[in-house]
Chains A and B, each alone.
Chain A
Amino acid sequence: MEKINKTQLARKSAVQSRWYGNRRRTFFLVFALTLMVVDMYLIFVWAPTESVMGHVQRIFYIHVPMAWTAFLAFFLVFLASILYLPVRKAPAWTRRWRLWERNPIWDIVASSAAEIGLVFTTLVLITGPIWAKPIWGIWWTWDARLTTTLVLWLIYVAYLMLRAYSSNRSQAGVYSAVLGIIGFIDVIIVYRAVDWWETQHQRLVVSFDRFDVASDMRLVLYFSTFTFLVLFGYLMWQLISIKRLEITIRQTKDKLSMAKIRDARR
């Protein structure tokens, strides 16, 4: 075991606790929160009131960006799942990603994206009815986008439950990677299916975003999307570093217990 310099360690942890672990990340958080404040101002004060729906329509600027983020998160799960599973012959430029083995970082990315994605998806499913009820008088419409989001939510839950109920960590990683890939491809088909189904049944008197979007509104929408993406990025950064720490802790504990056994035998 290497010699531990106690002063250095103390100094390092003091710095770490002041900056909440990482200076750059903390700045990023401040950036994200600032954007959020500005965004809220834009949404609730600056944006023009929609003629038909009134103030309730403002929830659109939260609902839609979160939906996009939720689907982006799932795409990330898909990508990370692919990168996690070993490929025998990976091209040379991917060396750094170590694709020939089960590189744990990809598993961390996938599970982080899934956890955060689930939260965003849940919020989409909550803000949807909040928007719908005052305007159209019903909580839920089985429109293509909302329904696909519901299915996405269910797949996220299945993904996280699969991880939770796996017999060991290795299995959790491999099985959820498989589900990540199958699930993503499935969601694409689900969207197509529900879209045709909605057309077929023509029950949609309401339509969430088929109102006149003035250019000012578009601006707020794009800004809001950017804000939520930044927030998502921060959450990913934070969650990934937490998970990496957890792994380090576990490995250190293992090393310690192995060392203890070896010492005991001597």
Chain B
Amino acid sequence: MIDRTPKLAVRVEDLTKGFGEAPVLRDLDIRVGWGRILVIFGANGSGKTTFLKVLSTQYSPDQGKIWMAGIPRSEDPVSIRNIIGVVAHQPMLYQDMSTVENLLFFSRMYRIVDPRKRVAEVTELFGIKSLLERRVGTLSHGMQKRVAIARALLHTPPILLMDEPESGLDEESLYLVMKTLQDYVDQGRTVLMTTHNVDIGLDLASEVAVLSDGAFRYHGNREGIDTDKFRSTYLGRMEVGS
């Protein structure tokens, strides 16, 4: 069943995913519209990364259905990969190639027309021009993260999936990323991100969700959340696996 008018950016029904022991994600449902930043909170081991990896087609669900921008995952994972950008913990860059070589390689894999022009655009946007000719292996973690984010945006994906994007970034990079995300979303795209940092998370969010026990225990708009109350409740319950 293909949803022809993608009213929803992300639609997940009854998602179950496990690795042989108890399932990590269990009967998980969620719907996210366009132009939203959904920030997902959850304890270590709650399944945030697994959830993002299922959405990004890196994992296939044991049970359940997923539609990304109306595209059903079971039928066309390749097209889904076209419309998502992923920023993970690791930069996922070829350490022995230069920044520009990495960006060009991925541009071509994403079949971008005129890759050089596009690469120039993103390097301008993220202020990484000075890093272009340098081997990625020589860059600091924060710099690599910046390049990784630039790489994720090469094909201007309508949906962005980010796993703890703020980790390892300095003030300047963080500001840049937050501003980019805001602009991105203002153009109607959607961002899903996980984070441990309550402040940054609530700052960016337009929607908040909490992952616990393999499913979303809470999902609501940012407006309805009292920062202090959220922080104390969330942190108060922080134990592994809760």
Contact = CB atoms under 8 A, between A and B. Distances in A.
A binds B: yes
Contacts of B242: 261, 265
Contacts of A254: 21-22
A246 interface: no
Contact of A250 (B19, B21, B213, B237): B21
A8 interface: no
The prevalent SS among residues of B at the interface is loop
Interface in B12-67: 18-22, 62-63
Q: Give chain B's interface residue range (CB within 8 Å of chain A).
A: 10 to 19
Interface stretch (A56-64, A70-78, A166-174, A207-215): A166-174
Given A265-B237, A265-B242, A102 B21 contact: no
A101 interface: yes
B241 interface: yes
Contacts, number: 27
B74 interface: yes
A199 B56 CA distance: 54
A138 interface: no
A169 B20 contact: yes
Interface in A214-256: 250-251, 254
A6 interface: no
Nearest to A257: B22
A84 to B, nearest CB: 13
A261 B239 CA distance: 10
A168 B21 contact: yes
Nearest to A247: B20
A172 B21 CA distance: 12
A171 B18 CA distance: 10
Given A101-B62, A261-B242, A265-B237, A168 B74 contact: no
A97 to B, nearest CB: 16
A88 B76 CA distance: 13
B19 A168 contact: yes
Contact of A169 (B21, B62, B213, B241): B21
A154 to B, nearest CB: 26
The prevalent SS among residues of A at the interface is helix
A37 interface: no
A168 B22 contact: no
A258 interface: yes
B20 A173 contact: yes
B45 to A, nearest CB: 12
A88 B60 CA distance: 13
Contact of B18 (A170, A172, A258): A170
A260 to B, nearest CB: 11
Interface string A160-190: 0000000011111100000000000000000
A251 B22 CA distance: 7
Interface in B74-90: 74
A172 B213 CA distance: 25
Contacts of B241: 261
B74 A170 contact: no
A102 B62 CA distance: 8
A168 B20 contact: yes
Contacts of B74: 88
A250 B18 CA distance: 14
Contacts of A250: 21
B63 A101 contact: yes
A170 B50 CA distance: 14
Given A169-B19, A170-B18, 18 more contacts: A101-B62, A101-B63, A102-B62, A168-B20, A168-B21, A169-B20, A169-B21, A170-B19, A170-B20, A171-B19, A172-B20, A251-B22, A254-B21, A254-B22, A258-B213, A261-B242, A265-B237, A265-B242
Q: Which 3 A-B pairs have the closest CB atoms?
A: A169-B20, A170-B20, A168-B19
Interface of A: 88, 101-102, 168-173, 250-251, 254, 258, 261, 265
Interface of B: 18-22, 62-63, 74, 213, 237, 241-242
